[in-house]
Amino acid sequence: MSLYKQWNDMVVEFVKANGEAAFWDKYEAIEKGIYIGILSDHNKIFEGKVGELAEKLNAPLDFFIGFLDGINESLNEELDMENLKIDTEIKLDIDLARLYFNMLDAKAEYLYNLSQWEGIFSEEKRKEITKAWRESKIVIKEPKIGRNDPCTCGSGRKYKKCCGKNA
């Protein structure tokens, strides 16, 4: 069984036994510790075997797999989560700007407010990333074409008599 499947099964069992709130309390505490370790040494690319990295970052293996799943989209080279084994060599080459953006997107305030970010990005840069994140959430609604409006194809006829005839 893959480590990723074990992680998913563990989450289901943990939630059944202890509740979802208890799971998130435990996961967030572990995840926060991992990020503090990584962001404190942000110039380093963490690489090695999955099991060794989990141990190095003081994380239980199953929760470390959850962490990898969460950070995967922020890596310059994504991991094949389904095929991870304890001795799989991985490299955590993190795009820190994308990571900060993704933390905002996940509404993980406990992570994007870590003091370690101050040593990575200036306050101005963090505000810039936050602004880009907010702008990515703005939905721009295209104006609706009314039946009696001129057709968008430029024929000069009403939409209902032209392109909207079969719509």
Residues 62-66, mean pLDDT to the nearest whole number: 96
- How far apart are alpha carbons 164 and 137 in whole angstroms? 31
> How many structural domains compose the chain?
1
Residues 67-86, mean pLDDT to the nearest whole number: 95
Does residue 157 form part of some domain? no
Tell me the pLDDT tens digit for each residue of 12-56: 999 999 999 999 999 999 999 999 999 999 999 999 999 999 999
Span between the terminal Cα atoms of the chain, in Å: 51
Q: What is the pLDDT of residue 160?
A: 87
Q: What is the pLDDT of residue 1?
A: 72
Closest to 101 in 3D by CA, of 88, 116, 111, 115? 111
Q: What is the pLDDT of residue 98?
A: 96
Does residue 64 form part of some domain? yes
**Cα 161–chain centre separation:** 47
Tell me the pLDDT tens digit for each residue of 79-109: 999 999 999 999 999 999 999 999 999 999 9
Q: What is the pLDDT of residue 167?
A: 67
For helices 61-71 and 20-40, angle between their N-to-C axes, nearest 10 degrees: 70
Does residue 161 form part of some domain? no
Q: What is the pLDDT of residue 165?
A: 82
Residue corresponding to tokens 């999955």: 50
pLDDT at 162 > cutoff 70? yes
Closest to 85 in 3D by CA, of 51, 132, 131, 46? 51
Does residue 97 form part of some domain? yes
Does residue 143 form part of some domain? no
- How far apart are alpha carbons 34 and 38 in whole angstroms? 6
Tell me the pLDDT tens digit for each residue of 122-161: 999 999 999 999 998 887 788 888 888 898 888 989 988 9
Residues 6+ apart with CB under 8 A from 50: 3, 61, 64, 65, 68, 84, 85, 86, 87, 88, 90
> Whole domain around residue 42: which residue ranges?
3-121
Does residue 151 form part of some domain? no
Does residue 133 form part of some domain? no
